[in-house]
Amino acid sequence: MSVDGSHLKRLTTTLGYDGGPFFSPAGKQIVYRAWHPQTAADSSDYRSLIAQNLVRPVRMDIWVMDADGSHQRQVTNLGGASFAPYFHPDGKRIIFASNHKNPRSRNFDLYLVNADGSGLEQITTNVEFDAFPMFSPDGQHLVWASNRHGKVQGETNTFIADWVENP
């Protein structure tokens, strides 16, 4: 939509949960998290929860679409909950949080993947929650939220690190 709220356009229509969108650096694509029911039972469960204004975000993957909503495509298929995607400034890679190694846990780590779904790389390995990553516009820094080093259990703090590319 326009900044003034006019020209509102719905971009997704598939039954399921879509959210957390961010534009690519060039503004031509949108990355987001999504889960779409695959069975009649999943669809029924989803509709029942939505009727109560609830969702069950235990399974989500990363998706990309063109800025006009066309060419929607799934990037990850990891199991667990993958969310909080954000494009790297090069527009070719996406950083996100996931608990796919242990989907029942609250231990989320950061991962980097190419926009075509190839080249998955784990970025953090802390036993605490790491999520909501974003790159600085120049790609020199990464900021994210984490429960590491909290004074009390569940305390979330903001971390900033230099981003160094492997040669």
Q: How much is the average pLDDT of 40-55?
A: 93
Confidence of residue 164 (pLDDT cuts 50, 70, 90): very high
Q: How much is the average pLDDT of 137-151?
A: 94
Q: Phi and psi at residue 146, in whole multiples of 5°?
A: -150, 150
Judge whether residue 111 has pLDDT over 80: yes
Other C-beta atoms within 10 Å of 106: how many?
11
Q: Phi and psi at residue 41, in whole multiples of 5°?
A: -65, -40
Question: How many CA atoms lie less than 13 Å away from 24 in the CB half-sphere?
Answer: 19
pTM (two decimals)? 0.92
What pLDDT, in 10s, does the model give residues 69-87? Answer: 999 999 999 989 999 999 9
